[in-house]
């Protein structure tokens, strides 16, 4: 049995400004349950420190405040096995932190500390050049943005989490619990890693390649229509047409259009175009990328034509949409790939 004075594994937790509270809380609570023989939250078998880029409070995306124990630069990286970075909702905000963090993060990596990115923290590590040559798991909502920003970093589509050498990544959300279980299993054994899952009302941990039923619920629960919508999302940037979509689903084009008219009041091709335009709008509001880049993402060869489609749908140009968002909080909106 591990001595109370020698932990199996040591974590340095770094919630970044505007971090998502769910993955941070899930990861930390899993450590807490596994750290002690009972439920006393003593840091015996694993230990952790909560740091900030600066000392003081860190605001989560939901507005909650978390108190950092110390600033990251004040800590000795040699005291930890993993530096776990928790990202914010805005991927571009994470990339913008790179100039001020690059030297420090590189020095920590050089000390042999494994770097773990959760949610959009992968944008920060990639912007610092710390993911070059590594495979990365990215939240499905930000795959297109990550590919556009860092085309030389290899993505593993739909992976919940993964490890590639000294770099680990996690898509975020409750997948942070699964990642914590995987790390604790490696260092403390499977039995201790699973401790507390029932208290957290969580079923057995998921593998890194677990397919989210919620992401593909339409495909599994709604027959040909659901499969068509899931395929539209997968083919968002491809030169695919409705005829091929109908073939992939296993019905005729006419049957496919009838299904879409009955369910959504529009043809399959109109629904697909709406999905693409919603994706472009979301990217305009949440990234700095050009309209030409976004046109590539949705399979439109001419960015001018995309601009016309966008104005016809939303009543303003893409540039005006972005400028408006800079001065006015955007309204609630559907995530890309949904209508």
Q: What is the DSSP string of 212-250?
A: PTTTTHHHHHSHHHHHHHHHHHHTTTS---HHHHHHHHT
Q: Are 280 and 144 in contact (CB under 8 A)?
A: no
By C-alpha distance, which of 233, 237, 230, 232 is closest to 293? 237
CA–CA dist 180, 190 (Å, integer)? 11
CA angle, 216 then 222 then 227, to 5°: 55
pLDDT for res 141: 82
Helices 303-314 and 318-327, packing angle to 10 deg? 60
Structure tokens at 246: 């109908």
Which pLDDT tens digits describe the chain residue by residue (339 residues)?
A: 344 457 899 999 999 999 999 999 999 999 999 999 988 889 999 999 999 999 999 999 999 999 998 999 999 999 999 999 999 988 989 999 999 999 999 999 999 999 999 999 999 999 999 999 999 999 988 888 898 889 889 999 779 999 999 999 999 999 999 999 999 999 999 999 999 999 998 987 888 877 666 565 444 455 899 889 888 888 888 777 899 999 999 999 999 999 999 999 999 999 999 999 999 998 898 888 899 989 988 989 899 999 999 999 999 999 999 998 777 654 444 445 555
Q: Does residue 106 sit in helix, strand or coil?
A: helix
pLDDT for res 27: 98
Integer Rg of the chain from CA:
22
Residue 90 has phi, psi (to 5 degrees) of -90, 110
CA–CA dist 61, 150 (Å, integer)? 25
CA–CA dist 91, 126 (Å, integer)? 11
The strand pairing partners of 169, in sequence order, are 117, 162
CA–CA dist 64, 309 (Å, integer)? 40
CA–CA dist 2, 92 (Å, integer)? 42
Q: Is 21 exposed, middle or buried (0-12, 13-18, 19+ CB in 10 A)?
A: middle
Beta strands 9-15; 65-68: pairing state: unpaired
Structure tokens at 302: 């001419």
| DSSP character at residue 316 | S
């Amino acid at each position: 049995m591990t001595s109370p004075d020698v932990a199996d594994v040591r974590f340095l937790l770094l919630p970044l400004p505007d971090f998502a509270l769910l993955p941070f809380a899930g990861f930390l609570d899993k450590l807490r349950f596994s750290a002690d023989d009972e439920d006393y939250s003593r840091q015996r078998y694993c230990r952790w420190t909560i740091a900030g880029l600066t000392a003081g409070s860190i605001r989560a995306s939901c507005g909650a405040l978390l108190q950092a124990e110390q600033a990251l630069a004040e800590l000795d990286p040699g005291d930890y096995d993993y530096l776990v970075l928790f990202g914010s909702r805005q991927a571009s905000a994470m990339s913008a932190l790179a100039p001020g963090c690059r030297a420090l993060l590189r020095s920590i990596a050089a000390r042999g500390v494994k770097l773990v990115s959760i949610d959009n923290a992968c944008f920060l590590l990639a912007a610092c050049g710390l993911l070059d040559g590594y495979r990365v798991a990215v939240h499905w909502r930000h795959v297109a943005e990550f590919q556009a920003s860092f085309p030389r970093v290899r993505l593993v589509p739909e992976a919940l989490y993964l490890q590639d050498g000294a770099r680990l990544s996690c898509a975020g959300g409750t997948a942070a619990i699964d990642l914590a279980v995987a790390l604790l299993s490696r260092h403390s054994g499977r039995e201790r890693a699973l401790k507390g899952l029932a208290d957290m009302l969580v079923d057995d941990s998921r593998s890194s390649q677990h397919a989210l039923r919620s992401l593909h619920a339409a495909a599994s629960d709604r027959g040909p229509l659901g499969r068509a919508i899931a395929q539209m999302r997968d083919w968002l940037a491809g030169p695919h047409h409705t005829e091929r979509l109908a073939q992939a689903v296993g019905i005729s084009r006419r049957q496919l259009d009838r299904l879409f008219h009955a369910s959504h009041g529009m043809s399959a091709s109109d629904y697909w175009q709406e999905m693409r335009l919603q994706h472009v709008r979301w990217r305009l509001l949440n990234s700095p990328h050009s309209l030409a880049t976004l046109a590539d993402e949705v399979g439109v060869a001419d960015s001018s034509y995309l601009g016309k489609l966008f104005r016809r749908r939303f009543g303003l140009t893409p540039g005006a949409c972005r400028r408006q968002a800079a001065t006015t909080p955007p309204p609630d909106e559907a995530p890309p790939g949904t209508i």
